[in-house]
Chains A and B, each alone.
Chain A
Amino acid sequence: MKNAGLMVMPAGFFLVAAALLLFNGSTLRFIFVLCGLAVECMGLAFAVRAHMASRGEN
């Protein structure tokens, strides 16, 4: 589960890279970059959640 969350994070980066390549206008770029960051945060949250589930195992 943690690995799945971490694999989502590069997908967010690809959105950010796409924003640079596809758009010239600053507003669209900004929105796309924010969406990319949101996807990365989702992946991170997923990984954190998986880590929390293992609480007390040590």
Chain B
Amino acid sequence: MDPYTALPLPQSAFVLALCLVLLSPLALAGVALINTGLGRSRSAAQAMLGSLTLIAVATIVFAVIGAMFAYGETGFTFTISGKPWNWIGAGSFALSGFSSGTVQTQLSTLAQFIGVAFAVLIAWGSGADRFRMEAGAAVAAILAALVFPMLAYWVWGTGWLAQLGLNYSLGAGFLDTGGAATIHVLGGLSALAIIWIAGPRRGKFPKEGLSTAMPGHNAVYVLFGCLLALVGWLAWNMAGALMWADLPPTELVVTAIDTILAASGALAATFIVTRIRFGKPDASLCANGWLAGLVTSSACAAIATPFEALLAGLVAGLITPLLVELLELFLSIDDPSGAVSVHAVSGIWGLLAAGFFASQQGQVLAQLVGIAAILGVIFPLVYFLFWLVNLVLPFRADADGERIGMDLHELGGSAYPEFVVHRDDSYR
């Protein structure tokens, strides 16, 4: 059988989608650079090697186990009041028979390899300067084996969230064409679980007084990472629009413009907010704002008009710096990469905005149900699984390891061996 016969995409659209998916790892490169730059110099090599290791572990585990749960025409289903609730896929173990599948399934699986790598990378960044690589690898394995595939099946496969429109007349079902839920909200909430379990960096929150500022060590990495992320995000959002929103290639230009506008609007808003709050724009918060705009675009770039995308980005850019401050100063959440504000909260905002911008009746309710499922099922599940892992493989490095830096502690050498190491006044 010609594999293209089962393909709703025309062949030219398939080739375009494949090229776009292959460009999207640039977003991973950008986020890895941002995570590294926002951490301390004495943990930079560990942060970068950890990114690669986690991507490798997630990819292998997803191929062997995860892909089995992410796909399958007939998943595990229970029926309530005559309506099917497909909650997990039942595909083949270790991608067996993968090469004889339709090209669209193959393409979608390839995209999910990128997606799962992205989700673990987001979670990894929040544990900077104290999170052990072995524990990070275990976290990546759990996300890739069960949590990401299950959520991906719900949203992108034939799962119950995707079927909300069909079964309960809620718009077109839960809409997430760029992975705002499956990648960013999952990654951001996993980051929160890691932060809670590992605890803050030593000296970050003294018993009395304000929290200690621990600025990132390389603003150039952070800002260059933002530019790199833009390229990857453009490709990813357009690929998602082709694969999961069934947009024709002729409408992809609007998706790309929406992505750029959301990021630009968010950066502009964060720039103004930090300029007003601190007297000068803050580089790391502006980078967070830019990323928050991109995350928002993941949810709504394939649906919104350019003006709506700009508006969504402006709101994301407005709330992100305020939220980063709130989490650190008032809620004692030590999140060096800002993953909770940037990925979890902006992702949720984007999903909600997509509901408002979509033309179908009941779409807002579908988006709310999806958000509730992630908060009410996925987050407690992730926290519980991570808590179990922490009993076997402690998340946190010992006090001495944290003092000398994760590079020396875990790798035996530093990222910048010729640099003079300055005394760290923030270490109490």
Contact = CB atoms under 8 A, between A and B. Distances in A.
B417 interface: no
- Interface bracket on A: 20 to 34
A40 B375 contact: yes
Given A12-B375, A37-B375, A26 B207 contact: no
B373 A52 contact: no
Contact of A13 (B206, B332, B373): B373
A5 to B, nearest CB: 9
Contact of A58 (B83, B202, B369, B373): B202
B48 interface: no
A55 B372 contact: no
Contacts, number: 80
B12 interface: no
B376 A56 contact: no
Contact of B376 (A2, A12, A57): A12
Interface in A18-51: 20-21, 26, 29-30, 33-34, 36-37, 40, 44, 47-48, 51
Contact of B383 (A6, A21, A48, A52): A6
A10 B380 contact: yes
A33 B204 CA distance: 38
A36 to B, nearest CB: 5
A33 B369 contact: yes
B118 interface: no
A6 B372 contact: no
Nearest to A39: B376
- Among A11, A40, A57, find the residue whose CB has the most chain B CB atoms closer than 10 A: A40
A20 B208 CA distance: 47
A58 B332 contact: no
A45 B278 CA distance: 29
A17 to B, nearest CB: 8
B428 to A, nearest CB: 11
A24 to B, nearest CB: 9
A20 B369 contact: yes
21 contacts: A2-B196, A6-B379, A11-B376, A13-B375, A13-B376, A16-B368, A16-B373, A20-B369, A21-B80, A21-B81, A26-B365, A33-B369, A36-B376, A40-B375, A40-B376, A44-B379, A48-B333, A51-B196, A51-B331, A58-B200, A58-B204
Interface of A: 2, 6-7, 9-14, 16, 20-21, 26, 29-30, 33-34, 36-37, 40, 44, 47-48, 51-52, 54-58
